[in-house]
Structure 1
Amino acid sequence: MNKNTYALGGVLTLMTFLFALSGIRAQIAQDNKDSNTDWVDEITSRITLYGSLRIGAGFAEEGEIAIANNAPRAGIKMKHALSQDEAENFNVIGGVELGFNLVSRDETVEFAVDPGAGIAQVGDAVFTRLGFVGFSYQEFEFTFGKQNSVYYTMGANQVDKFLAFGGAGIGVWNISDGGISGTGRANQVFILKYKKDGLSLGTQAEARNISENSESIDTYGFGANYEIDGFQIGVGYNKVNDGVEDPLPNQAKEGDEAFVVSASYEKDRFTVAASYASLKQHQRTTLNGDDFFYDATGIELYSRYKFSTDQRWHVAAGFNYLGPDDDQGLGDFDTKFGIVEVGYNFKKSSHIFVASQIEQSKDIVGDRRNQSVYGLGIRFGF
């Protein structure tokens, strides 16, 4: 299948999905009108549809031009009360989120703030980003499935605010979507959360039988976050309990351990955020044709100012750095780049923007290993 056919297939699949969702809701509304009953309203009140079409076009400094995905997605969130007494607040909850490969993947011009597919789904026109069910009761929530990890939601997402680029410094998406290690969109994971008065706590465990040891818990993690008066601080920790020394693509690495701490402050038009990560056997690169896992330290920085009086225009800048520890034998190898972005918010969750990823990453002998990228993108949310 050629690239044009592939890209067209992705677009048609997305359009079919979105039209199907809108058609379902329209039909439900018509049925409700015709039958003059309230049961349909009860059902639709428990379902929230959402989505975001995201595509960018850009060029690399050596002249390559391409159209690329920017993590487009659509999903459904569900919540159903199990008790008529709302004070008890006991609910069944769940969600499904699909990602879409609207255009064929491009390795030169890539909008990679949020890697899309899992390791087994790279290249698929449609793939599962999230899928979970569970329960909530007052301040507690228990869910299981494929979910955003507590490492990300509590310790790392404060700097995940760029419309394109970024997300390379603190180990969230270490291999594909971070589902294998448990730091990103964790696979087959149980998560328990508590949230009250600005304080959030969370713990998680993946159960996947990674190695022949057949441990009940293959990876586990903890997270905490506290927010007050625009200031927020969070920490996250994740560890592989049952890894293998030379992992296959769907296996976690023995000794994989990640810690992140983040802080942010938002006041009126100004936002600033910073994250620091210490990573053990968490990051992977290819050395002499073989996969190589290494210990590393990383940081991500973000700042934004809404400079128009209606606060629709913004300018943002930041920096990503990820470097191996000195004893890892990787010489000058590192990941290092700056980000500059100017955007316009034309409605809630919808933007048009220009952005640049200014590369300074080096290979093992100190030569630059990536090109700088300059792009134009649009994000339409609903």
Structure 2
Amino acid sequence: MKKSFATYGKAIILIVALLLLQGMKAQAQQDKKDDTNWIDEITSRVTPYGSLRIGAGFAEEGEIGIANNAPRIGIKLKHALSKNEADNFNVIGGIELGLNLVSRDETVEFAVDPGAGIAQVGDAVFARLGYAGFSYQDLEFTFGKQNSVYYQLGANQIDKFSAFGGAAIGVWNISDGGVSGTGRANQLLKLTYANSGLKIGVQGQARNISVNSKSLDTYGFGASYTIDGFAIGLGYNRVLDGVEDPLPNQAKDGDEAFVTSASYEKNRFSIAASYASLKQHQRLGDDFYDASGVEFYLGYVFSKNERWKVAGGFNYLTPDDNEGLGDFNTAFAIGEVSYTFKKSSKIFAATKIDQSKTTTGNRRNQSVFGIGIKFDF
């Protein structure tokens, strides 16, 4: 009998141990599954992206330089606040960092927009964008450092060149346009609406950086409409807290900018043009001036595999006659040929034929020929 009890006891202990092991294994599998679901859930909310861009240029007087072409990495966040997707109420946000892959080259300049804000020039890694907010159906409200409606809706149609360009319509007037609100605006509150090709946006900056600071230190609005390959847009921005003699991180009194753009894309052909009227927005040394600017782009995909493309255009910015700046202007033509890989990654060769003048009528900049690579992921 004792032997039977001992045998039964061992069998019971073995069964209990097996059940415990099975339970532990099931729990481990469930924990692993939960971890996987957690990771999947997080990654489903976050979208990473990046663009590595470097160019090598040759100036007409013999200088050779390797320069950044606005490389960046970033993430975008979108998280639903309701299980019912039809409600479409989300938390959204984004972070974008600029990369100084090579030291800046002032003779051979590639970037179509400035790489860093005033205090970040030369930093190996710097903030380009950082914002958070909410979206509901066709509306978005965001706050932080972000692209202005002046650029997004009024001027973005012309931003098509791989290098050069972006000099005549006032987007990047002081560094990255963060102070005045026309570029990557600092401390920006922005509300946008987008539906069926129509986009409308309003914005205001709360910067508190000058003695004239107000509740909103700048305001702006923009609108664009796209239909059948044709797009038209406009943007307006006005500074309210400008000072007469601004520091590098302050805006000028009377700073005001207006831009309108139009573009058309059909099959292999694309064309775009922008016009800007700028008041106390552009700077020459310590002086600000009124000016008008025009940018033009024309592109054509000429190969059967639709990978080879040729493009050309120009930038022209001239001060108003009453500014007393003599012959000063910004004037250059652009020519470009590129080969596109997947997801807009490409190699290209481009030239900038520069005829910009100083106040005395002398040539201000050298012409540049460059080659570059852009790899998006």
Counterpart-to-counterpart distance in 1, 2:97 and 2:368: 27
Say which SS state the counterpart of residue 87 (structure 2) adopts: coil
Aligned to 2:205: 206
Aligned to 2:331: 336
Counterpart-to-counterpart distance in 2, 1:362 and 1:219: 32
Aligned to 1:256: 255
Aligned to 1:142: 141
Calculate percent identity across the aligned residue pairs: 74
Where do residues 48-127 of structure 1 align in structure 2 (5 Å cutoff)? 48-127=47-126
Letter in 2 for 1:113: V
Say which SS state the counterpart of residue 322 (structure 2) adopts: helix
The structural deviation recorded for 1:163 is 0.5
Say which SS state the counterpart of residue 252 (structure 1) adopts: coil
Counterpart-to-counterpart distance in 2, 1:349 and 1:145: 28
Aligned to 1:21: none
| Alignment partner of 1:234 is 2:226 | no
| Alignment partner of 1:298 is 2:293 | yes
Where do residues 6-21 of structure 1 align in structure 2 (5 Å cutoff)? none
| Alignment partner of 1:380 is 2:375 | yes
Say which SS state the counterpart of residue 45 (structure 1) adopts: helix
Aligned to 2:303: 308
The structural deviation recorded for 1:94 is 0.2
Kept in 1: contact 2:148–2:182 (CA 8 A): yes
Counterpart-to-counterpart distance in 2, 1:140 and 1:276: 28
The structural deviation recorded for 1:300 is 0.4
Kept in 2: contact 1:210–1:243 (CA 8 A): no
Pair 315,34 (structure 1): closer, same or farther in 2 beyond 3 Å: farther
Kept in 2: contact 1:68–1:104 (CA 8 A): yes
Counterpart-to-counterpart distance in 2, 1:81 and 1:324: 49
Counterpart-to-counterpart distance in 2, 1:170 and 1:77: 28
Aligned to 1:7: none
| Alignment partner of 1:35 is 2:29 | no
State the Cα RMSD in Å.
Answer: 1.3
Counterpart-to-counterpart distance in 2, 1:328 and 1:212: 27
Where do residues 253-292 of structure 1 align in structure 2 (5 Å cutoff)? 253-286=252-285, 291-292=286-287
Aligned to 1:359: 354
Kept in 1: contact 2:72–2:96 (CA 8 A): yes
Aligned to 2:153: 154
Letter in 2 for 1:164: A
Summarize deviations over 1:163-190 as a string: whole Å, max 9, x none: 0000001000001100010000000000
Letter in 1 for 2:339: Y
Aligned to 1:18: none
Counterpart-to-counterpart distance in 2, 1:318 and 1:309: 24
Say which SS state the counterpart of residue 151 (structure 2) adopts: helix
Kept in 1: contact 2:217–2:239 (CA 8 A): yes
Letter in 2 for 1:380: F
Letter in 2 for 1:310: N
- Unpaired segments of 5 or more residues in structure 1? 1-30
TM-score where L is the length of structure 1? 0.90
The structural deviation recorded for 1:34 is 7.9
Summarize deviations over 1:124-175 as a string: whole Å, max 9, x none: 1110000000000000000000000000000001010100000001000001
Kept in 2: contact 1:32–1:41 (CA 8 A): no
Say which SS state the counterpart of residue 216 (structure 1) adopts: coil
Pair 33,176 (structure 1): closer, same or farther in 2 beyond 3 Å: farther
Say which SS state the counterpart of residue 119 (structure 2) adopts: coil
Summarize deviations over 1:9-42 as a string: whole Å, max 9, x none: xxxxxxxxxxxxxxxxxxxxxx999812322211
Counterpart-to-counterpart distance in 2, 1:241 and 1:293: 16
Farther off after superposition, 340-349 or 149-158: 340-349
Q: Counting helix residues as a fraction of each chain, which structure ranks higher?
A: 2
Counterpart-to-counterpart distance in 1, 2:211 and 2:313: 43
Aligned to 1:13: none
TM-score where L is the length of structure 2? 0.91
The structural deviation recorded for 1:214 is 3.0
Kept in 1: contact 2:316–2:331 (CA 8 A): yes
| Alignment partner of 1:369 is 2:368 | no
The structural deviation recorded for 1:322 is 0.6
The structural deviation recorded for 1:365 is 1.1
| Structure 1 outlier segments of 4+, above 6 Å | 31-34
Kept in 1: contact 2:212–2:242 (CA 8 A): no
- Unpaired segments of 5 or more residues in structure 2? 1-27
Kept in 2: contact 1:61–1:371 (CA 8 A): yes
Letter in 1 for 2:116: A
Say which SS state the counterpart of residue 348 (structure 1) adopts: helix
Q: Which has the larger radius of gyration?
A: 2
